[in-house]
Structure 1
Amino acid sequence: MISDNAGNYLLDLAKQSIKYYLENGEKMEKPKDYPIELDENLGVFVTLNKNNYLRGCIGYPEPILPAIDATMEVAIAAAVNDPRFPQVTMDEFESLDFEVTVLTKPELIIVAVPDQYFEEIEIGRDGLIIQKGYSRGLLLPQVATENKFGIEEFLEHTCMKAGISADSWMDESCDVYKFQGQIFK
């Protein structure tokens, strides 16, 4: 994964990106001097919380952009484009808690029978992506821990996030992926 220095840099960058966007209505320029390791393509999520409640969360599960660029984009998106919430305002900016999660590449879990997922998934370490047809849901590793989910509940909630029935993870036409996340708060 990335160094603590680079992770903390991304956390500060997420805050700066949101603040600049809220004040100016446009994306700020990418800094010129940043840790070189952030040029690596990585999956990144930015989560905003207010008074211990989710206020926005958007990210790229796949490593499609350099971490530095992905963080700037998803930070702004979490603040102003999460369809579950109204846009963040400048008045509430200071009351937000920021979190950046850097992801490993998602890995398809191959099982012969659904019960094998219980051996392949570790709560607190793994995040999940469940895909069935065009429906896809993702939950970060910390979601299971924060909500005290067991593995079956974690699978069910990821299915529901995808907009499919909670027991879809048992269906052969459903793909389950796991990934790990490095969290910076």
Structure 2
Amino acid sequence: MISDRAGQYLVEIAKKTIEHYIETKETLEIPEDHPIELDEKLGVFVTLNKNNALRGCIGYAEPIEPAIKATIEVAIAAAFNDPRFSAVTKDEFPILDLEVTVLTKPEMIIVAHPDQYFEEIEIGEDGLIIQKGYSRGLLLPQVATENAFTIEEFLEHTCMKAGISADSWMDESCDVYKFQGQIFK
């Protein structure tokens, strides 16, 4: 994926982006001196935590933008547009912990029977996307470990994130994808 140096750079850019947006309400320009590897199109999520609790998390599951541009866009979205939370304030910004997760391209898990998902998904390594019709839910790899999920619970919670019944992953009309993520803090 990307080097540790580039990953740490993304964390710093996410912080600068949010701070700049708080001050100016404008999007940070892409720095000209950014690591060249960040010009590659990659899926990126920015997660904000406050006192070890989720405070915002938005990202691109698919590699639709260069990693540097995606990080700037989703940092603003996570801080100010996550519908689950109010916008980050200037006062709380200094106590937030930021995390950037860079994703591999999601790959559909092809199984003949839903029980085979248990052989294909590895807790702590894989993130999941579950899609049924227009409903789609995504959970990053760290969510399963942080919540001590079994594979079945991980599948169920990803379904619930999609707004569909927890057992939908057993339905053949439901597509299950996995991806991996590099986490930088």
TM-score, normalised to structure 1, is 1.00
Q: Distance in 2 between matches of 1:28 and 1:175?
A: 36
Matched, 1:83 2:45: no
Q: Distance in 2 between matches of 1:29 and 1:110?
A: 41
Once the 2 structures are TM-superposed, how far is the Cα of residue 5 of structure 1 from its aligned partner?
Answer: 0.3
Q: Which residue of 1 aligns with 2:62?
A: 62
Q: Distance in 2 between matches of 1:29 and 1:66?
A: 14
Q: Which residue of 2 aligns with 1:11?
A: 11
Alignment RMSD (CA, Å): 0.3
Q: Which residue of 1 aligns with 2:73?
A: 73
Matched residues, number: 185
Q: What is the SS of the residue equivalent to 1:90?
A: coil
Q: Distance in 2 between matches of 1:67 and 1:9?
A: 11
Once the 2 structures are TM-superposed, how far is the Cα of residue 32 of structure 1 from its aligned partner?
Answer: 0.6
Q: Distance in 1 between matches of 2:30 and 2:70?
A: 11
Deviation per residue, 1:132-181 (Å, 9 max, x gap): 00000000000000000000000000000000000000000000000000
TM alignment of 1:17-32, pairs within 5 A? 17-32=17-32
Runs of 4+ residues over 6 Å off in structure 1: none
Once the 2 structures are TM-superposed, how far is the Cα of residue 28 of structure 1 from its aligned partner?
Answer: 1.5
Q: Distance in 1 between matches of 2:63 and 2:30?
A: 18
Deviation per residue, 1:11-61 (Å, 9 max, x gap): 000000000001101101110101000000000000000000000000000
| Structure 1 runs not aligned, ≥5 long | none
Matched, 1:174 2:174: yes
Q: What is the SS of the residue equivalent to 1:149?
A: coil
Q: Distance in 1 between matches of 2:28 and 2:179?
A: 30
Deviation per residue, 1:73-125 (Å, 9 max, x gap): 00000000000000000100001000000000000000000000000000000
Q: What is the SS of the residue equivalent to 1:57?
A: strand
| Structure 2 runs not aligned, ≥5 long | none
Q: What is the SS of the residue equivalent to 2:41?
A: coil
Residue identity in the other structure for 1:115 = D
TM alignment of 1:65-144, pairs within 5 A? 65-144=65-144
